[in-house]
Amino acid sequence: MFLNDDERTIFFKLYFGLLVWVNNKHKIVDGFTKEKYPESVDSKAAYSIREKMFQRPEWIDEYLSCVGTGELTEPEREIILSWRKHFIMGQFIVMRHLARYSVFMAGEHTDTAKLYGIAGISHPFSDFYERPALPVIVNAVILPFQDKIIYDGLFSAYNIIIGPGMRRNLNDSYRASKEKYGIIERLPFDGFILAPKTARKSPAKPLLTDSANQTRDKAEAITPLITKFCEEKLGTEFIQPCLYALEKLRRKRPSPLLTGKANTWACGIVYAVASNNFVFDRSQPYFMTARDIADGFGLSKSTAQNKSAEINKLLNITPVSSEYVIESLREERKSIFNLFSTAKVHKKLK
């Protein structure tokens, strides 16, 4: 579940060299080591550099173009290039610890979730979270490395207890993804879908049915109501997560949008997203009352609350559902752990 000595030596050499070069070049954090192969690193600083670097992966291209051919072997350059091309950065849910790796799930919903078998660097991921604590939600970067997938030793975790209802939903997504794709053990993933155990023939479905047309029309009627309210009263930052929720509702089969009025759905969506972003907290700069939102759509407060509760249940909206969190709040919900250990790097790297 973690790299052997030789693999770890290669990883630290390449990854530390890359982080140090990027920070020296782009001045991301002050006081970070300038040594190419340091004996230890500041994990919080390394995390900050890593985040910026993978937001600007062209910096890795710069590094490869600047480093002399004598400094890196061709296989080492290929490893770094594979990181640049095939890294995955984002939110993962650590679901299982197996003998060969820990299983990270990307995507919270059954139709999008994929499972990745992730090896540790100096120790298995299970050293941080033993089995009873799972599932755990983390932000991480996963990378191809030779014949396996690793995380780079840095991650931040949400300090949130996952309740029984959400746990059931996550386990459903896990089982569905495993049946569809299996556990992905190498990157890049080619998107291959496992054949179902029992093949069943079913009649071809039309690309767009009457109900799909009706759902699309309803969504098009709801969109301007959401956009107008957010622009005029709540804040434009709320438009994206609200429209994301609308799209998720539209894509459900059958879509719940087929019943009910457009203004009721618009109000319920805004109410649900607002609640998830603490809008009803008077200490927040975008504070509104539940009555304000209901009045904005010409509804009673109880109608708005009931529709919001329905939407929360349909979409499983929780404080850790990052797609329903406004950008300015996302960083506030992270609790960064000291997870990039100050592991000693072999002196032979020098």
Mean pLDDT in residue range 310-322: 82
Task: Judge whether residue 38 has pLDDT over 80.
Answer: no
Instruction: Quote the CA–CA distance of 130 and 126 in Å, as a whole number.
Output: 5
- Token pair, residue 291, equals 């009555």
Percent of the chain's residues with pLDDT above 90? 47
If we measure between CA atoms, which residue out of 134, 139, 144 comes closest to residue 154? Answer: 139
Span of 114-128, 226-240, 314-328 with lowest mean pLDDT: 314-328
Instruction: Quote the CA–CA distance of 304 and 223 in Å, as a whole number.
Output: 17
Span of 45-54, 226-235, 268-277, 337-346 with lowest mean pLDDT: 337-346
Model pLDDT, residue 10? 92
pLDDT digits (tens, 9 = 90+) for 108-165: 555 568 999 999 988 888 888 776 778 888 999 999 998 899 999 888 887 777 778 7
Model pLDDT, residue 158? 79
Q: Which residue has the tokens 């890593």?
A: 50
- Write the single-letter amino acid at 11: F
Model pLDDT, residue 69? 57
pLDDT digits (tens, 9 = 90+) for 57-77: 999 999 999 886 578 889 999
pLDDT digits (tens, 9 = 90+) for 91-110: 899 999 998 899 999 865 55
pTM of the model: 0.58
Q: What is the CATH number of domain 211-317?
A: 1.10.472
Q: What does the mean pLDDT of the chain come to?
A: 83
Confidence of residue 199 (pLDDT cuts 50, 70, 90): very low
Model pLDDT, residue 113? 84
Is residue 104 within 8 A of residue 94, CB to CB? The reply is yes
Model pLDDT, residue 330? 67
- The domain ranges of the chain are 5-192+337-349, 211-317
Instruction: Quote the CA–CA distance of 315 and 39 in Å, as a whole number.
Output: 47
Confidence of residue 204 (pLDDT cuts 50, 70, 90): very low
If we measure between CA atoms, which residue out of 242, 233, 148 comes closest to residue 187? Answer: 148
Model pLDDT, residue 67? 81
Task: Judge whether residue 308 has pLDDT over 70.
Answer: yes
Model pLDDT, residue 254? 86
| DSSP code string of 256-303 | GGGSS-HHHHHHHHHHHHHHHTTTT-TTSTT---HHHHHHHTT--HHH
Is residue 191 within 8 A of residue 160, CB to CB? The reply is no
Task: Judge whether residue 209 has pLDDT over 50.
Answer: no
Percent of the chain's residues with pLDDT above 70? 83
